[in-house]
Amino acid sequence: MPSNENTKQIKSRQRVADHGEVFTNPREVNAMLDLVRDESFRLDSRFLEPACGDGNFLIEILRRKLSLLESVKSPVEWEFQSLIAVGSCYGIDILPDNAEACRERLFGEVIGQIGKKDTTGGYKESLRYMLQKNIVCGDALTYRTADGKPITFCEWTPIAGSMQFARRDFQFDFLVTQSHQYSLFDEQGQVQSFDEPVRTCSPLHYTQLYRYEEQL
């Protein structure tokens, strides 16, 4: 489980005893990510951390992805592409405070890179909504959320030339209960879709993603 640079490897002995919570140092995080360096520097490559803690693996992945946007001059294009990066990062943690801290760290990283620039109306709401869906409080071993529902992840697919995202929802247990070996990438390194979705939503503009709740 990861933590930020200024946090000790454990929060308390009780949390270690109850949940096996031990945080990974940033040096080890980056060393492991360098083993998949090409994928970690690809904007739409998907990463899932099944014990994400407060997000040190995911925030480092996000930083690598956002570094690809340094040459993007258009604020609107930057916002759209930043959501492609965020939408490819998934996490599960059994402790609600960790899941919320992870969401806040990822949100803060994106907003920090924007700085004092104004954002398009609805962008921040869409960013928070995407993080709420992608970072789940639950148990990766039982495939259930904290309230006992099946863990479900959203596949966010950017629609070229439209500034829209298509959304499809898939149950997490498919990834780990199928008899065949499953990979997020095919042999050519292209992102694969998950199996059959449990829900398909109509495309929405990137500033309106939070309105998906109205479709559910």
pLDDT for 122 beyond 90: yes
Comparison of pLDDT for 5 and 214, the residue scoring more: 214
- Cα–Cα distance measured from residue 143 to residue 10, given in angstroms and rounded to the nearest whole number: 25
**What is the pLDDT averaged over residues 180-201?**
60
CB atoms within 10 A of CB 180: 5
Interval 35-64: pLDDT, tens: 999 999 999 999 999 999 999 899 999 999
pLDDT for 142 beyond 50: yes
List the beta bridge partners of residue 139: 144
- Cα–Cα distance measured from residue 81 to residue 64, given in angstroms and rounded to the nearest whole number: 13
The per-residue pLDDT for 215 is 77
pLDDT for 127 beyond 70: yes
> Packing angle between helix 96-114 and helix 75-87, nearest 10 degrees?
160
The per-residue pLDDT for 196 is 79
Q: In this structure, which amino acid lies at residue 104?
A: E
Q: Where are the alpha helices (DSSP H) in the chain?
A: 13-19, 26-33, 37-40, 56-66, 75-87, 96-114, 123-134, 173-177
* DSSP structure string for 139-171: ETTTTEETTSPBPEEEEEEEETTTTEEEEEEEE
The per-residue pLDDT for 24 is 64
- DSSP code of 191? B
Confidence of residue 4 (pLDDT cuts 50, 70, 90): very low
**What is the pLDDT averaged over residues 89-114?**
96
Torsion sign (Cα): 64, 67, 68, 74: positive
The per-residue pLDDT for 214 is 85
Confidence of residue 8 (pLDDT cuts 50, 70, 90): low
In 3D space, the residue among 30, 35, 11, 182 whose CA is nearest the CA of residue 101 turns out to be: 11
Interval 65-92: pLDDT, tens: 999 999 999 999 999 999 999 999 999 9
The two three-digit tokens of residue 148, written as one number: 């006992």
In 3D space, the residue among 7, 21, 119 whose CA is nearest the CA of residue 59 turns out to be: 7
- Cα–Cα distance measured from residue 19 to residue 186, given in angstroms and rounded to the nearest whole number: 34
Q: If you average pLDDT over every residue of the chain, what do you get?
A: 85
Report whether 145 contacts 138 (CB < 8 A). Answer: yes
Confidence of residue 30 (pLDDT cuts 50, 70, 90): confident
In 3D space, the residue among 73, 71, 46 whose CA is nearest the CA of residue 154 turns out to be: 46
